[in-house]
Structure 1
Amino acid sequence: MTLKHHVILITGAGGGLGSTAALALAKNGAHVILLDKNIAKLEAVYDAILAANAPEPVIYPFDLAGANENEYQELANKINEEYGSLQGLLHSAVEFSSFTPLCQFGTKEWGHTLNVNLNAAFILTRMLLPVLEKSQHASIVFTSDSSARKAHAYSGAYGVSKIAMEGLAKILAEELEAANKIRVNILVPGAVDSPLRKRAYPAEDKAKLPTMESLVPAYLYLFGSQSIGVTGQTIEAPTFHL
């Protein structure tokens, strides 16, 4: 299952899941565009990909929450000019601070969380659709959260953003299905030993959790040829098997 000649943009590429996906996709031949606001983390992922003798990635420092629409358009234009098309878009960036009652949420924190988790995913997808449509087959993957989907108490803006993001993905999948060029799916990683999990559940015994590398088969499937024609689906990583 090769991803040679695939160009895939990954948001939150410096984070735990984003970097795991970037390395796995690159090892399978993809040319990955690493997008994150943390340059040091991007450089670490870049070095890991080179060390694996995978195709050299591109680092694109970008603040999803702070960027304006023109900056998003500039990103899309650069990808179009450099590659002519895009075969994959992975929304892996995430903002989560803590479990907080809604009555204690500040307006600024609420807005920032929704900007990163929801609004940025919408704007970036909209800007990149013309570039994705130039591919014979392209894949958009939104990263969700099983606990947030159940609307648990105290999940706050994070929970709301994930619920809304799943709605966005489902609507987009239906709108694009007839053209049969861009598939849109949701990946639910489940409980894995990730940096986000450490922040959310600091007292949990992480040794009992699957590693982030356990998600690699799901990433390869969603961006590989085996998932062509599969759209509007929610892939639960803990139960996923090729």
Structure 2
Amino acid sequence: MSGTQSLAGPALDGRVVLIVGAAGGLGSAAAVACAQAGATVVLLGRKVAPLNRVYDAVKAVGPEPLLYPLDLVGASPDDFDELAQRLDAELGRLDGVLHCAAEFKGLTPLLHTDPADFARAIHVDLTARWWLTQACLPLLAKSDAGAVVFAIDDPSRGGSPAFWGGYGLAQAAQATLVPMLQAELGEHGPRVSGLRPGPMRTGLRGKAFQANTDLQAKPASDYAAACVELLSAAGAAQRGRIVELA
């Protein structure tokens, strides 16, 4: 699998894909790529204005998307159940979920991390991702190729794992969640996989690295094709696995 490969045909034609964190770097790039691959994309994010910009970019290249503003910080399991019910009622299906939403305040020693910041990172980067997935699994199970893809970071790659706090711990937990959930769903249930991109030039990474010294970082769009592949039928080979890209 290559993060820079070109899309060959409508790999997601007729599919409905929910992009969580659609206004972010990887989320917005993946939303456009999924639309180019034929998917109807549901754009979930916290702020309406950035979502509207992604909406315009997606609509220009594929089926008209849907907006779903939701702040994961305050969202409860009931909110995610309502999301799944609305998707079922309005679209009648859900074929894929791509988790790109993330919370990271910056590099801080655990000893000095604000408890609220720690809890917020664990919630957005792990708990909310699972609650949303749990709510959507029954709908995904109705699809002939339902897939959940977790974008997972590896803060220790190329350096020390120190100072990444709740964000770093949540990434490690997701790496455990992927094979655990797939083992429980079995080979005939929805597919679960993780995508571990290389360093990306995003706002989140900018909180930890200075742009002029972070020469390894690539545009998030370089990894959008890999998101499409994992969400499509071609991603079946990666069931229960975490795909790591350079």
TM-score norm. by structure 1 comes to 0.92
Q: Does the aligned pair in 1 maintain the 2:30–2:225 contact within 8 Å?
A: no
Q: Structure 1: which 4+ aligned runs deviate by more than 4 Å?
A: 148-151
Any unmatched runs of 5+ in structure 2?
A: 1-8
Change over 3 Å in CA distance of 1:228–1:37 after alignment to 2: same
User: Counterpart in 2 of 1:38?
Assistant: 47
| 1:142-167 residue CA offsets vs partner (Å, 9 max, x unmatched) | 01112257871111111011111221
Q: How does 1:146-225 map to 2 (within 5 A)?
A: 146-148=154-156, 152-178=161-187, 180-205=188-213, 209-225=217-233
- Tell me the distance in 1 between the aligned counterparts of 2:150 and 2:60: 28
| 1:58-115 residue CA offsets vs partner (Å, 9 max, x unmatched) | 0000011101222111111101112222110001000011111110012111111111
Q: Does the aligned pair in 1 maintain the 2:13–2:37 contact within 8 Å?
A: yes
- Tell me the distance in 2 between the aligned counterparts of 1:206 and 1:98: 16
Any unmatched runs of 5+ in structure 1?
A: none
Q: How does 1:64-103 map to 2 (within 5 A)?
A: 64-103=72-111
* Corresponding position: 1:139 with 2:143: no
Q: 225-234 or 87-96: which moved more?
A: 225-234
How many equivalent residue pairs?
236
Q: 58-67 or 186-195: which moved more?
A: 186-195
CA RMSD of aligned residues (A): 1.7
Q: Percent identity?
A: 37
- Tell me the distance in 1 between the aligned counterparts of 2:14 and 2:67: 18
User: Counterpart in 2 of 1:25?
Assistant: 34
- Tell me the distance in 2 between the aligned counterparts of 1:134 and 1:197: 37
- Tell me the distance in 1 between the aligned counterparts of 2:190 and 2:71: 26
* 1:177 CA displacement: 2.3
* 1:205 CA displacement: 3.7
User: Counterpart in 1 of 2:234?
Assistant: 226
| 1:171-225 residue CA offsets vs partner (Å, 9 max, x unmatched) | 11111123x2311111011112222222220254456532212112211210122
Code of the aligned partner of 2:89: E
Quick one: which of 70, 73, 90 aligns to 1:62? 70
Could you say what secondary structure the match of 2:155 adopts?
Answer: helix
Q: 74-83 or 207-216: which moved more?
A: 207-216
Q: Does the aligned pair in 2 maintain the 1:118–1:161 contact within 8 Å?
A: yes
Quick one: which of 122, 129, 138 aligns to 1:121? 129
User: Counterpart in 1 of 2:5?
Assistant: none
Could you say what secondary structure the match of 2:207 adopts?
Answer: helix
- Tell me the distance in 2 between the aligned counterparts of 1:41 and 1:82: 23
- Tell me the distance in 1 between the aligned counterparts of 2:132 and 2:226: 23
- Tell me the distance in 2 between the aligned counterparts of 1:104 and 1:181: 42
- Tell me the distance in 1 between the aligned counterparts of 2:225 and 2:171: 23
Quick one: which of 104, 107, 113 aligns to 2:112? 104
* Corresponding position: 1:13 with 2:13: no
